[in-house]
Amino acid sequence: MALVIQKYGGTSVANAERVKAVAKRVVERKRNGDNVVVVVSAPAGLTDELINKAKAISSKPDKRELDMLLCTGEQVSVALLAMAIKELGEKAISYNAHQVKIRTTNSHTNAQITEIDTKKIEAKLKNNHIVIVCGFQGINDIDDLTTLGRGGSDTTGVALGVALKADTVEIYTDVDGVYTADPRIVANPKKLEKISFDEMLELAGTGAKVLHSRSVELGYKYNVPIHLRSSFDESEGTIVCNKELIEEEKLITGISHKLGEALIIFEGISNTPKIASTVFNKISENGIFVEIITQGAGKGINTDLSFVTKNECFDEAILLAKELAQDIGVSNVKGIKNLSMISLVGNINKDKLGVLNKVLLILEEENVKPLILTATDLKISIVIEEIFLKKIINLLHKNLI
Cα–chain center distance at 223 = 18
Instruction: Name the residue with the smallest CB distance to ligand ASP.
Output: 153
Residue 39 contacts residue 160 (beta carbons within 8 Å): yes
Nearer to Mg ion, 151 or 346 (CB): 151
Q: Which of ligand ASP, Mg ion, none binds 157 (CB below 5-8 Å, type-dependent)?
A: none
Number of Cβ within a 10 Å radius of residue 142: 6
Rounded to a whole number of angstroms, the minimum distance from the CB of residue 41 to Mg ion is 6
Rounded to a whole number of angstroms, the minimum distance from the CB of residue 16 to Mg ion is 21
Question: Which stretches of 322-377 are assigned E, i.e. beta strand?
Answer: 332-345, 372-375
Residue 214 contacts residue 114 (beta carbons within 8 Å): no
Residue 256 contacts residue 203 (beta carbons within 8 Å): yes
Rounded to a whole number of angstroms, the minimum distance from the CB of residue 34 to ligand ASP is 23
Confirm or reject binding of residue 73 to Mg ion (CB under 5 A): no
Q: Cα angle at 397 between 391 and 401, to 5 degrees?
A: 165
Confirm or reject binding of residue 151 to Mg ion (CB under 5 A): yes
Instruction: Name the residue with the smallest CB distance to Mg ion.
Output: 151
Nearer to ligand ASP, 76 or 259 (CB): 76
Nearer to ligand ASP, 147 or 306 (CB): 147
Pairwise CA distance, residues 172 & 8, whole Å: 5
Q: Which of ligand ASP, Mg ion, none binds 47 (CB below 5-8 Å, type-dependent)?
A: ligand ASP
Q: Which of Mg ion, ligand ASP, none binds 178 (CB below 5-8 Å, type-dependent)?
A: none
Q: Which of ligand ASP, Mg ion, none binds 43 (CB below 5-8 Å, type-dependent)?
A: none
Number of residues that bind Mg ion (CB under 5 A): 2
Q: Is the dihedral of CA 242, 246, 252, 255 positive or negative?
A: negative
Bridge-based pairing of strands 302-310 and 292-295 is antiparallel
Nearer to ligand ASP, 48 or 377 (CB): 48
Residue 269 has φ and ψ, to the nearest 5°, of -90, 145
Rounded to a whole number of angstroms, the minimum distance from the CB of residue 363 to ligand ASP is 36
Residue 366 contacts residue 335 (beta carbons within 8 Å): no
Rounded to a whole number of angstroms, the minimum distance from the CB of residue 134 to ligand ASP is 10
Binding site for ligand ASP (CB under 6 A): 9-10, 41-42, 47, 73, 135-136, 150-153
Residues 1-20, mask of contacts with Mg ion (x by CB under 5 A):
--------x-----------
Residues with Cβ within 8 Å of residue 63, at least 6 apart in sequence? 108, 109
Q: Which of Mg ion, ligand ASP, none binds 253 (CB below 5-8 Å, type-dependent)?
A: none
Confirm or reject binding of residue 43 to Mg ion (CB under 5 A): no
Collapsed DSSP state (helix, strand, coil) of residue 220: helix
Q: Which stretch binds Mg ion (CB under 5 A): 119-127, 150-158, 175-183, 232-240?
A: 150-158
Rounded to a whole number of angstroms, the minimum distance from the CB of residue 111 to ligand ASP is 13
Bridge-based pairing of strands 102-104 and 130-134 is unpaired
CA atoms within 13 A on the CB side of 200: 29
Rounded to a whole number of angstroms, the minimum distance from the CB of residue 326 to ligand ASP is 41
Nearer to Mg ion, 151 or 225 (CB): 151
Residue 35 has φ and ψ, to the nearest 5°, of -85, 135
Rounded to a whole number of angstroms, the minimum distance from the CB of residue 9 to Mg ion is 5
Q: Cα angle at 19 between 17 and 23, to 5 degrees?
A: 115
Residues in the site for Mg ion, rule: CB under 5 A? Answer: 9, 151
